[in-house]
Chain A
Amino acid sequence: MKIRISSDALSQELFKLQGVVSHRSTLAILSNALLEAEGDTLTLHATDLDISVSTSCTCEVLEPGKVTLQARSLFDIVKNLESDTLELETEENHWANLKSGSVSCRIVGTHADDFPNILDTSSVELFPIATERLLDMIDKTIFSVSTDDSRANLTGAFFKVTDENNLLMVSTDGHRLSKIETPPEDFDPEADIPAALTEGIIIPRKGLAEIRRIVDADDSELSFGLIDNNVVFKTGPMSLSVRLIDGSFPDFTQVLPRESEHRAIAEKSLLDQSLKFVSLFASSKTHNVRLSLSDEGLELYASDPDRGEAKKVVPVEYEGQPVKAGFNFRYLKDVLGAIEGDAVSIEIIDTLSPTLIRDPDREEMLFVVMPMRL
């Protein structure tokens, strides 16, 4: 294989692979990227067996071929080149010779056959989805995805097309839950939607994070499809496939609290700031902060026998009975971080029932946080 390529273009594409190449896997080949030169394109693949990224860019192919090279070191080399043209040529033993300006180096490579099979995504039926919408859905749910491997079905976000033809994404770790249900923008709900999508799929956390990292919010076109238990996202020349988590997502509708008649509406930035302050006094073991709602406002209170106690009252509009409940302040902070509006509505039913937090301007999403026993 021999190619001539712009080092800027190559380093841009290599960047997209960096998230999935692993550094400490027992399979050495997984830290490599597969490079395929054919026609006038260079196609790059990387996989960690759960997530695979393929991308391509144009280049001058002097001799077609394939090789696998250490993705990390290749990226480090290419991004530090001064000259913009790079010539890459492989040797008999699969080492690669790199020449650019006054630089020349050789790096170790292996036979392309050693690379795990690449999922062929060319035949996938794709549905367009608004990039911004998808990224927003991920932002609103990724923080509450469970990290506990013993319950594998919670270590991803549940994604489905609902009966009303809305897109739904839900995540939970057993202590909190995030849900967003939004009408598809570019998505034709009349299209023939695969059954798996209407039943729902579980996309692992790392896959979500990788989409978030690689997909540029300004990228106009993003589409997705399903193939062999993988969800594939495509934008431009790049495709990212994520192996779905087997298993069923728990029926979360049962834990959603009924809507309370009395909502407390608070200013978000003030609440966020107050929470930060009061949480300084929260016990480092339980992270407990108590929220009490009454006519006088929302009182935040935290105490730690080793340090002291603090109290702060945030003005809120609230008309119901006085109620209070204790929460892990980190969960509240995560939720406040995900809300973009200026106001936040809190519905505490009683000390033990799940509490509902929402953005009053965006009713399509909601966050549930379980209280701690006070």
Chain B
Amino acid sequence: MKNWNEILGNKRVRDVLARAVSTKRLHHAYLFTGPVGVGKHTTAHALAASLNCDQRHPEEFTPNCGQCRTCRLTAERQHPDLFFVEPPNRVITIDQIRQLQKACVSAPYEANYRVVLIDECHAMKEEAANALLKTLEEPPDQMILVLITDQPHRLLDTIISRCQRVRFGALDRQEIARVLPEFIDEPVDAAVLEVAAGYGEGSLGRSVDILQSGMLAERADLVRKISQVEANAPRAWLELAEELSDETQDFEYRIDVLTVFFRDMMLTKRAEPTRVVNSDLQELVEEMAQKFSVQAILTTLDALMSARYRLAGHVNKQLLAEDLVDRLRDPDSRALDRPS
């Protein structure tokens, strides 16, 4: 857990929450929405610590000190008045909600507020969500519920309408690059950090993931291989397909890497190259941009996007990779049969 003041970005959101505490207008239920990895959970966790911190000012909001017993227990998730609900296997069941309600009938055990964090709250089954409505409607005193999701459209309207919605935005690319080293074990070149931050599209979580996947390092290789697939060498492209899809997770990252790379090629061709993500490979981007026509780049991007979409839908990854490579091997000639 981070201290309140150390949280990256979304300062406006934190100001709103801090002001709510200071003016004693803290809502009993908040819905934190925004992309994955921009600090929703971190903010909620730090809010819980700040509300209960032993060093807090009685009248106004004080950021958590991070030193006291309460802050320490909160950070370790061992505080008796902090309750986490998380989907164990993709769903939050009604039993979890009932347990939560049972734990919350009485006043907080020792803290100022009892704070309940429901992470990935879109994973609540419908009956679980309906069971939660009662608590959202008539919460016990001194209880704050924070629902966290990156997919608010999957929530029931009745849940959304009972919460105060707090929207988190994407983080700044430079800021992500600055803090990235804290999240990875081995030191990485500053230029690569910059690239990872770009790949994350404003999500620290995604930047860390892509960096840890090691895909950035093999980026150049990957792009060369793809561009060199010969139209009439089926054996070569079947092998490439196999290599691409060897692990589902990596396959996903590879598609992401390629997508961003082709986007960069497009930018170099038609727009200002300052916004290129793969800034450390500028030469390669330009070289490739020469080779591909705009139409071919578009076709490739389409192929990549649809592969990404289908991968999420659990399509057989080998077939998917073969289809992808088949579309990539001669993008110019296929420019006309773009999938709809």
Chain A residues with CB under 8 A of B73: 114
**Which residues in A have their C-beta under 8 angstroms from that of B84?**
26
Q: Is the beta-carbon distance between A50 and B98 smaller than 8 angstroms?
A: no
Other-chain residue from A49, A113, A152, A245 in contact with B80 (beta carbon distance below 8 A)? A49
Report chain B residues within 8 Å CB of A117: 109-110
| A114 adjacent to B105 (CB under 8 Å) | no
Given A27-B78, A29-B78, A113-B69, also A152-B105 (CB < 8 A): yes
For the A-B complex, the count of residue pairs with Cβ-Cβ distances under 8 Å equals: 31
When the two chains form their complex, are residues A245 and B78 in contact, meaning their CB atoms are under 8 A apart? no
Known A113-B69, A149-B102; contact A229-B107, beta-carbon cutoff 8 A: yes
Asked whether B101 is an interface residue with its Cβ less than 8 Å from the other chain, the reply is: yes
Q: Which of B80, B105, B109, B110 contacts A246 (CB 8 A)?
A: B105
| Residue A101 CB within 8 A of the other chain | no
Contact A246 B107 (CB under 8 A): yes
Let me know if B158 is at the binding interface, CB within 8 A.
no
B101 lies within 8 A of A149 (CB)? yes
Interface positions of B from 143 to 184, Cβ below 8 Å from A: none
Query: A50 to B104, alpha carbons, bound, how many Å?
Result: 11
**CB neighbors of A among B93-119 (8 A):** 98, 101-102, 105-107, 109-110
Interface assignment of A28: CB less than 8 Å from any CB of chain B = yes
Give the distance to chain A from B52, nearest Cβ to Cβ, in Å: 12
- Interface SS, A side: loop
Judging by beta carbons under 8 Å apart, are B106 and A50 in contact? yes
A236 within 8 A of B: no
Which residues of chain B from 128 to 153 have any CB-CB distance to chain A below 8 Å in the complex? 140
State A245–B106 Cα separation when bound (angstroms): 7
Q: Check A174 for interface membership: any CB of B closer than 8 A.
A: no
How far apart are the CA atoms of A205 and B98 in the complex, in Å?
18
Residues of B within 8 A of A27 (CB): 78, 80
A160 / chain B contacts, CB cutoff of 8 Å = none
The answer on a CB contact under 8 Å between B69 and A246 is no
A308 on interface, CB distance cutoff 8 Å: no
Q: Is the beta-carbon distance between B109 and A116 smaller than 8 angstroms?
A: yes
Using Cβ atoms and an 8 Å threshold, which residues of chain A touch B78?
A: 27-29, 114
Q: Say whether A290 faces chain B, with CB atoms less than 8 Å apart.
A: no
Residues of A within 8 A of B109 (CB): 49, 116-117
Contacts of B106 in A (CB 8 A): 50, 229, 243, 245-246
Are A149's CB and B107's CB within 8 A?
A: no
Compute how far the CA of A50 lies from the CA of B109 in the bound complex, rounded to whole angstroms: 8
Closest B residue, CB atoms, query A110: B78
- With a CB–CB cut-off of 8 A, which chain A residues contact B69? 113
Q: In chain B, what residue has the closest Cβ to A50?
A: B106
1/0 contact trace for A50-62 toward B, CB 8 Å? 1000000000000
* Shortest CB distance B135–A (Å): 12
Q: How far is the CB of B111 from chain A (nearest CB, A)?
A: 9
CB nearest neighbor in A for B110: A117
Q: List 10 A-B contacts (CB under 8 A).
A: A30-B80, A50-B106, A114-B73, A114-B78, A116-B80, A116-B109, A116-B110, A149-B98, A149-B102, A243-B106
Enumerate chain A interface residues (CB-CB to B < 8 A). Answer: 26-30, 49-50, 113-114, 116-117, 149, 152, 229, 243, 245-246
Residues of B within 8 A of A (CB): 69, 73, 78, 80, 83-84, 98, 101-102, 105-107, 109-110, 140
